Amino acid sequence: MILLLSLFTTLLLPLSVRTTEASNASLSYAPNYAIIGLDVEGEAENSTLVVNYIKELFDNYTYYGWNGNWSGNIVTPALYKYNAGFAELYFDNIALFSKGHASMSECAGGFNQSYIMTQTTHLYDWNYGSSAGSQAHELVVLWHCGTAMNYAPYTNMYCQSCQGDVSFPMAFTKDNTISLDGYNSTTGNRVFIGFEGWSPQFLSTEGLSNNCYYYHFCAALYQFLIEEQLSVSDALDETTRLVTEQTSFGESYIANPHYKNPFPENPDFNMSSRMRIYGNGNLGIP
């Protein structure tokens, strides 16, 4: 089993204390819903370790008022929704991370709806958005497949039948004006990081340097965001230099379209895939 332990001794730099406002909250989730043929041994364990590590960073290097992390079968749609409502009610700014599986289907109103898979039921985009109230999250990272899809700027993404906004970027940011090129954008008040097509498993190595995995990528990204207080774009560049042979995120494998199919026996699953950055990449953690 490959675990995250090497991260703490080989990849990351020494930490120093930084501060931010107590009116902020961070929420991190790893539902660990397993798909046979896709998840290998150690995937769930490393996902849990990463959300624990993110919480540790927020606990040790910020003054956030609430730093929550949840993994495994306790992560349910009800938990996501309750935490969203509570955080929006009592805190000014929210940073959210979630890692796992997601998919999409057609909703009752004819839209493409996206959903996160938990070990109980699905969390739909429109359902989460309605739970978060009228406000929005400032920094969202959804390390799930397809979470950056179906977002159409300057259009109405509200489904009357579902009574909520479809597409995860809209449901989480409540903003239909964010840039689709957040890595190069300096305008707007929010950042959304998700995936077009397939997201890499944490134990995947495509496009990375030797002995590096995508749990290294994710943990390092948060190291640079929280400990170094870098912007999203700068943190992505530093992470890329740390775990790949490229010198900037824009040059990296994960940032550029590449066809991927974890189930080669079924050509319908062959999809163009990449990480997408929406909003203002000049922002960091709230």
Return the CATH number at 240: 3.40.50
Q: Return the pLDDT at 264.
A: 67
Q: Per the domain annotation, does 206 fall within a domain?
A: yes
Rounded CA-CA distance 188/271 in Å is 30
User: pLDDT value at position 1?
Assistant: 42
SS3 string, the chain, reads: CCCCHHHHHHHCCCCCCCCCCCCEEEEEEECCCCCCCCCCCCHHHHHHHHHHHHHHHHHHHCCCCEEEEEEHHHCCHHHHHHHHHHHHHHCCEEEEEEECCEEEEECCCCCEEEEEECCCCEEEHHHHHHHCCCCCCCEEEEECCCCCCCCCCCCCCEECCCCEECCHHHHHHCCCCCCCCCCCCCCCCCEEEEEECCCCCCCCCCCCCCCCCHHHHHHHHHHHHHHCCCCHHHHHHHHHHHHCCCCCHHHCCCCCCEEECCCCCCHHHCEEEEEEEEECCCCCCC
Residue 221 is assigned to a structural domain of this protein: yes
Q: List pLDDT tens digits, range 170-199.
A: 999 999 999 999 999 999 999 999 999 999
On whether residue 20 sits in a domain, the answer given is: yes
Going from the C-alpha of 146 to that of each of 31, 88, 227, the distances in angstroms are: 16, 25, 29
The answer to whether residue 286 is domain-embedded is no
| Residues 42, 57: Cα–Cα separation, whole Å | 22
Q: Is the pLDDT of residue 225 over 50?
A: yes
Nearest-angstrom CA–CA distance, 277 and 254: 11
The model's confidence at residue 258, banded by pLDDT at 50, 70 and 90, is: confident
Write out pLDDT tens, residues 7-19. Answer: 544 455 444 444 5
User: What's the average model confidence in pLDDT over 221-245?
Assistant: 97
Range of weakest confidence among 71-80, 94-103, 104-113, 128-137: 128-137
Task: Return mean pLDDT, the chain.
Answer: 90
**Is position 284 within any domain?**
no
Q: Which domain holds residue 167?
A: 5-279
Which residue pairs from 71-74 have beta carbons closer than 8 angstroms and sit at least 24 positions apart in sequence? 71/29, 71/30, 71/31, 71/32, 71/44, 71/47, 72/30, 72/31, 72/32, 72/44, 72/48, 72/119, 73/32, 73/119, 73/120
How many CB atoms sit inside 10 A of residue 113's CB?
25
- pLDDT for the residue numbered 245: 96
pTM given for the model: 0.92
**Number of domains within the chain:** 1
pLDDT at 71 over 80: yes
Is the residue at 238 inside a domain? Answer: yes
Tokens of 34: 């397993």
Is 285 a member of any domain? no
Cα distance between residue 181 and residue 33, in whole Å? 30
